[in-house]
Amino acid sequence: MRRIALYVVGSLCVLATPVAGEEVVAPGTPIVVVRIDRHDVFDLDDPSMSAWPYRWVDALHILTHEDFIRSLLLFREGDRLDPLQLAESEIILRATGFLNPVNISARPVPGGAEVVVETHDQWSTGVNVSFGMSGDRRTASFGLSEDNVLGLGKSFLFDVSSDPERTSTTFRYKDITFFHSRWQLALEHQSSSDGSMDHLRFEYPFFSLTTPRAGGVDWSRNASTMYLWSDGERRVTGDANMRSWEVWGGLRLPGSGIRTDRVLVGAFGERAVFSDWQSLYGPPYPQPRDRNLVGPEVGWDHRTFRWKLVQGFRAWLRQEDLPLGPNWTVTTGLSLPLLGADSVRLRYHGVFESGQFEGRTYTWQRVDFSGRVESRGLGNAITHLEAGGAITGSAGVRVRVAADLGYALDGERQLTLGADTGLRGYDPNTFDGTSRVVTNVEWRHRITGELLHVAAIGLTAFADGGKTWGARVGPSTEGWRGDVGAGVLVELTRASLVRILRFEVALPDRGRRPVYLITTDSLF
């Protein structure tokens, strides 16, 4: 019996010349069967995973429902086989976070093709007891979370956390197939020792390259105490009451292939009221200006469906989708007193991303800019520039250079530099600034396979350098600062909640004590 293969390069399906015993399923072949092949967290048929701990985990875990998986696919029985739809469906399934790896293939059957969707569940339930440390900054939390409630793809989080700014209780709920549809719902409420926050998002997104229409609403409210930092200490404090909302719709323009353009239209509102701002050290600090923006907005979104499916970028054994693009989005809104705004202002935001992949090396570029045009000129303008490269696989070097260039920042904004923003040899929020630049060089090497089918361990060595300027509440770096360090990385290979644990120590360049870091986030 001959086999038919559908080849995927990156995450872009292409037709390939058949090798011995294989031939390509032709695009346009009728899909007569879509078979979902689901795998639990552990494969109990494998003798090495047949012991009681693995059996207990699988018994406690609810396998993702087949209906949920089908609801995310871009094809159905009776459709014509489209390699792009198969590749994009893989990316959508992996983007859930709790399905990895995912593989979609096609084979011949009488009357057409059978598409096989193979998924592997990750452990998605967490009793979160965590402790983080970045020099003098300590964070702790306790909570319950589930990324895949009852196997239906819904998620919730209940968390009590403490950090140097506040103690908070957070509830979060997300449903990416609201009432078995493409609508998505996200809700969040946070009560803190210094205020509260609420957020609602309800939208029908551009979930695929060919989605013709999209739209939604977004609303948030945040009333809390804000802080400006320097040398790891709170230097300025004040109350802020912020509200924002947005209503938007989008239309895909005619076109075909791997590129698509979309027009975005909508309306927005942004209101910020400040009170009781004071300096804790040094001269008085001026209270930030209140602002009220309301008006229409328009935008343009360009997507290029070029991806590379790899292992060994941020994680070693997990599938990761790296975008190549180029992709960009630009939006602008005009705030008008006629609609209730305090003055005429032009709000803008844009993002450009591009990537390249050659051999084992992934390089990327990103530009992000936002701000306002006002009667006094530019306001709260921040331009983020980033370029980086990484050798993927079990061992390699990663490099990044990133700059945030600020101009006429709002009084509540600052761009600090420390361990949390890439200069790991200094405590978070050590250096004040309204602009900053940081560069990171990191070597990583995996030293184990998958230990006990739950984790892989590796080593890292790194060097960082950076500077800030335009300080307002404390000293800048006063030139370049740097550090060197090393650490241990642990990839949790069967968990969707925490994927990488980093245990690092960094030595600063100017005689300070070492900084110890425990994090679950990757710098880049």
Q: Residues 324, 315: contact at Cβ < 8 Å?
A: no
Query: pLDDT (tens digit, 9 = 90+) per residue, 284-343?
Result: 999 999 999 999 999 999 999 999 999 999 999 999 999 999 999 999 999 999 999 999
At residue 20, the pLDDT reads 43
At residue 2, the pLDDT reads 29
- What are the structure tokens assigned to 129, written together? 């007891």
At residue 129, the pLDDT reads 57
pTM for the whole structure: 0.90
Q: Residues 348, 379: contact at Cβ < 8 Å?
A: no
Query: Low-confidence residues of the chain, pLDDT below 70?
Result: 1-23, 128-138
At residue 19, the pLDDT reads 40
At residue 232, the pLDDT reads 84
Query: How long is the chain?
Result: 524
**Amino acid at site 432:** D
At residue 488, the pLDDT reads 97
- What are the structure tokens assigned to 269, written together? 């509102």
Query: pLDDT (tens digit, 9 = 90+) per residue, 247-290?
Result: 999 999 998 789 999 999 999 999 999 999 999 987 899 999 99
Where helices occur in 354-485 by DSSP H, the ranges are none
Which helix or strand (DSSP H or E) is residue 266 part of? strand 259-279
Question: For strand 31-39 and strand 112-121, is the pairing parallel, antiparallel, or unpaired?
Answer: parallel
Three-state SS at 53? helix
Show the CA angle centred on residue 100, arms to residues 96 and 102, nearest 5°. 100
At residue 227, the pLDDT reads 93
Residue 358 CB contacts under 8 Å (≥ 6 apart), including other chains: none
In DSSP terms, which residues pair with 314 in a beta bridge? none
**Which residue is it, tokens 């009590």?**
160
At residue 352, the pLDDT reads 98
Neighbours of 197 (CB within 10 A): 17
